[in-house]
Structures are given as structure tokens and as C-alpha cells.
Amino acid sequence: MSEASRDFYNYSYSELTELLKTRFDASTFRATQLFEWVYRKGVTDFDLMTNISRDLRAKLAEFFVFPKARIADRQISVDGTRKYLFEVEQGDLVESVMIKQPNRMTLCVSSQVGCAMGCKFCRTGTMGLKRSLSTSEILRQVNGVIEDAKNFGDSFQNIVFMGMGEPLHNFDGVTRAVRNLTDRHGYGMSPRKVTVSTVGLVPAIRKLAASDVAVSLAVSLNGTTDETRSKIMPINDRFPISELLDAVKNFPVGPRKKVTIEYVMLGGITDTEDDMRRLSKMMRGLPVKINLIPYNDNAGLGFKSPDRDWVFTWQRYLNSQGQQAFIRWSKGADIAAACGQLATESKKTSKLPVIEQAAA
């Protein structure tokens, strides 16, 4: 039996229930107990799971493994943001970031080693794609940060899939991780507190919309014309703005919930007055809120930041037109933890195909 099939973190609640029934002749309630021990209490030693019979504990201990997150490095920014370098399987490295925000912490996790999307303003895109992470490798980042956060007396309230990689390019790994994050027997997080970001894989957005996975969605728009957006985001050649916004329009959102439109303002490229007015017009009638992200030129990719006052002008204009617009200033720039800065020395060895259509 493969190591992956014995990895507890790769199992959903329903899969664990079925495994316990068929392999161990155990009841559904045992799956509930195991999920609560592992995800709610952080206990992976079966000897400590005292509400489970000793005989069953021994059998489970022979079967399951709980791979640990190995923190290869941790850096702390002057603003309190922490960046973690995790070593996952095959010696690959990925980064996660605990973002310090007013009154809360947000955990940003990676979904791939590198990225195939090739966005020109993102350092991760310069790596190319090596591979997607397993559900376990994603959740181990979460577990590792939970454990390390005890050293700082804090914890995160939100999780965003905005680290290395395109989350919806790793659809199965990410959605399975989301299920365990939001399962009431698992981490028990509200779907409103877990956000999956995408550069605009339209078929995958529609596939997510049609699934039973409850999660918040963020879409990186970053341009108001196909010509400009295609220059900085090659994915736009496959799925232009009109198709992307149609998918956003039809994405299911709950009461008082909106899709987040992420808009990176590249000085002199995507931050013109015409862009500002076009963006406002494009957003009318859509269930969205807008995050304006002033580009962090510390990424060293040849782009520049917009004028600070001009960013506020954009926000005021969008708000005056009935949109909800917020400014998301970069955190952790001094440790290369800001938006678009994440990259490691892992080398590209293979490339997965971009999703062309939703699976049946």
C-alpha cells in the first residue's frame, strides 16, 4: 500500500468513514472522533486518544501515518508578518505567509511548487511549474503554522490560497483541503473565512460553482482591456475578460457575500484614469467587492508602484460609483513575503496542462 494511501491528511471525512467501516469494521462515530482528535486538538498519537478502544487504536496506529511539516526557514518582517519555508515531499520547497493585519492574522498557503500561469508581475511565475501539492502537503502547511504560532501567542482567523501556484490548476488537491478546513468535524472553519484565488481559469471556476465545495472566491483581474491583460497575464488569451466576468456573475454567493476582485495596480500600465473608469463600468451589476493592490516593485520584475495618492483617488472614485473598494497594502515586503514575491529555488522539471474544460 502506498504511503499516500496511509497518509491521514489525504482523507476526507466521508472517505475516512468508509475506510473505517470496510477495513476496521468501525462505526461512523469513530471517524468523528479521529477528525476531532487530529484537526481540533492536534493530537496524532493514538495512545492519547483515550475514548477509542485500545484494540482499534493499535490497528489504526499500524495503518495511518501523520507526516510532519518541516519548517526549513522562518523570517519575521518589521510589520509582524511571518514567512515560512516548508520542505514537502521530494525535497521540494514552498512558502506560506502569516499576514499581520489590524485585529487579525491571515494565513496564505501555497498549492503548487512553482506556477504554470506565467503572470509577468509575479516572481512565482518565473519558476515555471514543477508539480501540484497533495491535500496532505497543503494541510501540513496549516498544521505547521498552527504549531509555530504558539511561540507567538497568536493564530489565524482566515486562510487564503494565494501563495505559490494557481489553486484551481490543482483543483482536486485544493478542494479536498478546503473540505477538511471547513468540515465541522475537521478544522471547523467557516467557508467565509477560506478563500481560493484564481488568475481566471474559467472552466475551473464554473466547476467549483457547480460543486458542493463551500468556499469564498477571489479573481485576479489586474487589467481592464484584453490587450493589456494578455500582455501581463497569458491566461487571458485562453479566457478573455468577458468570459471571466460571466463566470464571476454566475458564481454562487451567500447572503451578504461577494466575489473578491483583486486588481494589482501597475504604475503607468493598469492604473490609468481610463482603467479606473472602465473598471467601475465593468463591475456594475456583479456580486463583487474590489481589492486594489498597489504593486510592490521590490519583486524586481521591471514594473513600478503607482503613486500613493492616486491609489486613494481610485478608491474614492469606485466607492462614489457604488462599488465596494478597499486598498490592500503589501505586508512583509522586507522579507519578500508580499503579494507576487513568493519564489523558491525549486527548479522546474515538468509542466501540467492548463485546465481546458471542466471534468464530467
pLDDT tens figures, 246-279: 999 999 987 778 999 999 999 999 999 999 999 9
Whether residue 289 contacts residue 324, with contact meaning beta carbons closer than 8 Å, is answered with yes
Measured distance CA(57)–CA(60) in Å, rounded: 5
C-beta of residue 215 within 8 angstroms of C-beta of residue 178:
yes
Catalytic residue among 95, 137, 166, 262: 95
Q: Which of 262, 339, 345, 356 is catalytic?
A: 339
**CATH class of the domain comprising 3-63:** mainly alpha
Low-confidence winner among 157-161, 270-274, 299-303 (lowest mean pLDDT):
299-303
Q: For the chain, give every residue range classified as CATH 3.20.20.70.
A: 70-335
pLDDT at residue number 101: 84
* Range with lowest mean pLDDT among 44-58, 180-194, 277-291, 293-307: 293-307
pLDDT tens track for 96-140? 999 988 889 999 999 999 999 999 999 888 899 999 999 999 999
Instruction: Report the pLDDT value the prediction gives residue 335, as an integer from 0 to 100.
Output: 64
339 noted as active-site residue:
yes
> Quick check: pTM over 0.85?
yes
Please provide residue 229's backbone torsions phi and psi, each rounded to the nearest 5 degrees: -65, -40
Q: For position 50, what pLDDT does the model report? A: 94
Q: How many whole angstroms separate alpha carbon 33 and alpha carbon 292?
A: 43
Segments of 125-181 assigned E as strands: 129-132, 158-161
CA-CA distance, 342 to 122, in Å (whole number)?
Answer: 8
pLDDT over 90 at 57, yes or no: yes
pLDDT at 213 over 90: yes
Q: Where in the chain is the domain with CATH 1.10.150.530?
A: 3-63
- Alpha-carbon span 152 to 168, nearest angstrom: 32
Is the backbone of residue 85 left (phi > 0), alpha (psi -120 to 50) or beta?
beta
Superfamily per CATH, domain 70-335: Aldolase class I (3.20.20.70)
